[in-house]
Amino acid sequence: MTTDPTGYRRTGWVFWALGGLLLLFVVLPLAVTIIDGGWSGLAKVAREWGVLRSIGITFLGALIATAVAFVLGTPLAYLLARRRFLGKSVIQGLVDVPLVIPHTAAGIALLMVFGRQGIIGRPFASLGLFFTENLAGIVIAMLFVSLPLFVGSAQASFELVDTRLEHVARTLGASPWRSFSRVALPLAGRGLMAGAVLMWARGTSEFGAIVILAYNPKTISVLIWELFSGYGLSVALPVTALLILIALVVLVIFRLVLPSRASDGRWRRG
């Protein structure tokens, strides 16, 4: 018979009760939607071309946005993690700005640049290249609102890599590039992947900026909105349930395969 002097078992129920309320708040909507959506409704909707195409565009757009963020954001995260320079806090703040801008507002701001009359949009439009109402617009919107998630995570990952490891690499003969690519990058790699997953997930759920910049082709959140506002709850329900199921499956896969940060700051699987 174990004697537990800490008393955590006895007193922890308050924490569990409070936390449990929050968990219930998450689980209840998901469960009710899936159950009410009904299996037959789900199965039918899962075969509809429009729905599948929408899911595909959503996932693809988020993937491209994440890839762009990875290529451009990793160097930025490294600089922020390693160097001290004038205006660093300003740049740090800039990276976080998309998080605090309402997404419809972000969409409009992006339209001012990438729209057909926009600063960048106009010269490209004369060449026949457009950034709105297509996949490019979706990618731009997703990239803008979710890049802070990647850059923040990447920066934290680089900060966890001891600078002196790179110092040692340099003294052993590695150029700055080699000490980055052979030491810093591999060691931060798990954190970078986790940040990418986070960004991808956030990108797939984007709505406000996409609605402004690229209503068509419809991402899944736009599709659900259109079904709901145009035809009502019962029509939107099966698609919603399907998407929630898919999202849960993807999340579980990622959690099992990719690392997340444990309490000591180190990355672990699962």
Partner 1 sequence: MLRLTDILVELGGFNLRLDSLEVAPCEYLVILGPNGAGKTVLLETIAGLHPVRSGRVEFLTDSSGVAAGAASTDVTAWPPEKRDIGFVYQDYLLFPHLSVEKNIAFGLRGRVDARDRAGRVREAAAFTGVDGLLGRKVTGLSGGEQQRVALARALAIRPRLLLLDEPLAALDRTARRDVAQEVKRTCGRLGVTALHVTHSLDEAVSLGDRVAVVAGGRLLQTGSPEKVLRVPACRQVAELTGCENLLEGRIIGRRVALTGGPTLAFAGAPGGSAPDGARVTVALRGEDLVANVPGSAGGAGAAENCFPAVVEAVEPGAAHWTVRVHCAGEAGVASEVTPGCSLAVFVMPPEVIRLGLVPGAALELSVDPGRVVICAS
Residue ranges that bind partner 1, judged by CB under 8 A: 84, 162, 164-165, 167-175, 182-183, 186-187
CB of 70 to partner 1, least distance (A): 20
CB of 134 to partner 1, least distance (A): 41
Residue 217: cis peptide before it, omega within 30 degrees of 0: yes
Q: Alpha-carbon dihedral of residues 204, 105, 67, 129, nearest 10 degrees?
A: 110
Q: Does residue 204 contact residue 59 with C-beta atoms inside 8 Å?
A: yes
Neighbour tally for 95: CB within 10 Å: 18
CB of 179 to partner 1, least distance (A): 8
Q: Of 184 and 241, which has the nearer Cβ to partner 1?
A: 184
Q: Does residue 103 contact residue 145 with C-beta atoms inside 8 Å?
A: yes
Whose tokens are 């390693």? That residue is 82
Which residues lie across from 259 on neighbouring strands?
A: 269
Q: Of 43 and 168, which has the nearer Cβ to partner 1?
A: 168
Q: Of 11 and 171, which has the nearer Cβ to partner 1?
A: 171
CB of 189 to partner 1, least distance (A): 8
- Specify the 3-state DSSP secondary structure of 261: strand
Q: Of 125 and 187, which has the nearer Cβ to partner 1?
A: 187
CB of 259 to partner 1, least distance (A): 14
Q: Of 47 and 164, which has the nearer Cβ to partner 1?
A: 164
CB of 256 to partner 1, least distance (A): 22
Whose tokens are 């990108």? That residue is 203
Q: Of 166 and 206, which has the nearer Cβ to partner 1?
A: 166
Q: Of 136 and 192, which has the nearer Cβ to partner 1?
A: 192
Q: Could you give the CA distance from residue 178 to residue 180 in angstroms, rounded to a whole number?
A: 5
Alpha helices in the chain (DSSP H): 8-11, 13-37, 39-46, 49-82, 88-100, 103-114, 121-126, 135-160, 163-171, 176-179, 185-204, 208-213, 220-231, 233-257
CB of 199 to partner 1, least distance (A): 24
